[in-house]
Amino acid sequence: MRNLSITALAKLFFALITLSISSSQAMAAAEVAKIDRIVAIVDQAVITEKELADRIQTVTAQLEKQGTQLPPREVLEKQILERLINDRLQLQYASQTGLRVDDAQLDKTIERIAEQNKLSAGEFRKALETEGIPYRKFREDIRNEIILARLREREVDNRMNVTESEIDNYLTTQSSRNDIQDEFEISHILIRAPEEGNPEELQKLKAKAETALKALQSGTDFAQVSAAYSDAPNALEGGSLGWKTASQLPSLFVDALQPLQAGQLTAILRSPNGYHILKLSNRRGGSSPLVVDQTHVRHILIKLSEVVSEKDAEHKIGSIKERLDNGTDFAELARQFSEDASANNGGDLGWTNPGDTVPQFEKVMDALQPNEISQPVRTPFGWHIIQVLERRKQDMSKEAARLKARQEIRARKSDEGYQDWVRELRDRAYVEYRLEDKY
């Protein structure tokens, strides 16, 4: 799961266990005589008041743990209900299109979460139950998190393509800017507004942004204002975007951040997505060339297969090593015996960077002197004989810049694509609010 890290799931576990048993018992007692009701209809599914209350309880525990002052109850309810609706729509779509996570996959993920918390599977389950968290509910929450991550990967990330011309244009644009190396630690508030809309509605949304900015200017904590006003996906987490390079941010943001000192706020910024307020927490700049140690290496590989046993492969590579020791040309033996694509080039792999080869290969390669030939080496690919031809230090700044540009373009396109996809999914859905008339 490329987009769903075990660390993220572990964080979910820690957030859940912050709920106290006494609070859970008190809440359960209070609801004994209370009939659950529907607060929203989402196509063919419903969201109940209890589901909303449970999610509010979890988020409230997270905010309190972070020391963030809670927004008004009705604001928190609306924020969380919107999240539940979007999650429910995506889970319905996943089910309709055959995306599933079976029990075996789920068990492996939960085992990894337990390992990260240095617990056995049994101890982990007991810890959940001790904190009043039903194990069955925890499993389903994790299953849904995995499904949502895989859905995003399938519908958005796997369809993102970054062309070489996009990278060229990106680097050309960035090279003309003096702030290319600047990095900003920022927090973000978004009041979502259409690019073109009803003037009265737009004025109302702008007034909301102005109210949020005034609250920040009066000294209200940014995380609190974010939780109360922002429509950004991370609003309830305080709006922090962490460290971002100038090249990762829209020019609108960079231009507004450039004159600021740490701790200052931008004015309200208007983009096609809505109204933005940024806080600059810190900044740094400058970078040194990326110089790496490269190794020019060649090898001979004997693979294992259904017809070539471990013993046979080891014996064959040993015979080749004996011939090398007796003066037979390395390239000639590689062309004759090696089962790697490099065989036609005499086993030559060219210049390799750190991390280009598997650890077992790299460890032996790094220990060799130029022109020295290794003893037979076992890796997951089979048995190798390695020879280092030469070494050099190489400035990889251009290559690293292109790789970084590709990653940044892809990340930006992925985020934008995901938000657009969720919005389209929402536009096609039937959603009926039943929490309050104003919804």
Express each pLDDT in 423-437 by its tens digit: 899 889 898 988 764
pLDDT at 20: 42
- Considering the domain architecture, whether residues 278 and 337 belong to the same structural domain is answered as no
pLDDT in tens, 213-242: 999 999 999 999 999 999 888 888 889 999
- Considering the domain architecture, whether residues 280 and 329 belong to the same structural domain is answered as no
| Residue at token pair 């299953």 | 143
| 286 confidence band (pLDDT: 50, 70, 90) | low
Please identify, among 159, 194, 212, the residue that sits at the C-terminal boundary of a domain: 159
| 207 confidence band (pLDDT: 50, 70, 90) | very high
Please indicate whether residue 43 or residue 176 has the higher confidence score (pLDDT).
43
**Residue 175 placed within a domain:** no
Could you tell me the two tokens for 144?
Answer: 């849904």
- Considering the domain architecture, whether residues 189 and 260 belong to the same structural domain is answered as yes
CATH of the domain at 50: 1.10.4030.10
How far apart, in whole angstroms, are the C-alpha atoms of residue 426 and residue 433?
14
How far apart, in whole angstroms, are the C-alpha atoms of residue 52 and residue 34?
15
**Residue 332 placed within a domain:** yes
**Residue 431 placed within a domain:** no
CATH of the domain at 334: 3.10.50.40
- Considering the domain architecture, whether residues 269 and 318 belong to the same structural domain is answered as no
How far apart, in whole angstroms, are the C-alpha atoms of residue 280 and residue 98?
44
pLDDT at 19: 42
How far apart, in whole angstroms, are the C-alpha atoms of residue 225 and residue 191?
12
pLDDT in tens, 84-128: 999 999 999 999 999 998 898 899 899 889 888 888 888 999 998
Domain around 205: 182-286
Q: Beta strand pairing status for 431-433 and 274-284?
A: unpaired
- Considering the domain architecture, whether residues 64 and 150 belong to the same structural domain is answered as yes
Question: What number is the average pLDDT over the span 195-210?
Answer: 89
Name the phi and psi angles at 186, rounded to 5.
-135, 160
How far apart, in whole angstroms, are the C-alpha atoms of residue 187 and residue 218?
17
- Considering the domain architecture, whether residues 113 and 34 belong to the same structural domain is answered as yes
pLDDT in tens, 290-328: 678 899 999 999 998 878 888 999 999 999 999 999 999
pLDDT > 70: percent of the chain: 88
**Residue 80 placed within a domain:** yes
| Residue at token pair 């989402």 | 42
- Per the structure, the count of domains in the chain is 3
- Considering the domain architecture, whether residues 147 and 12 belong to the same structural domain is answered as yes
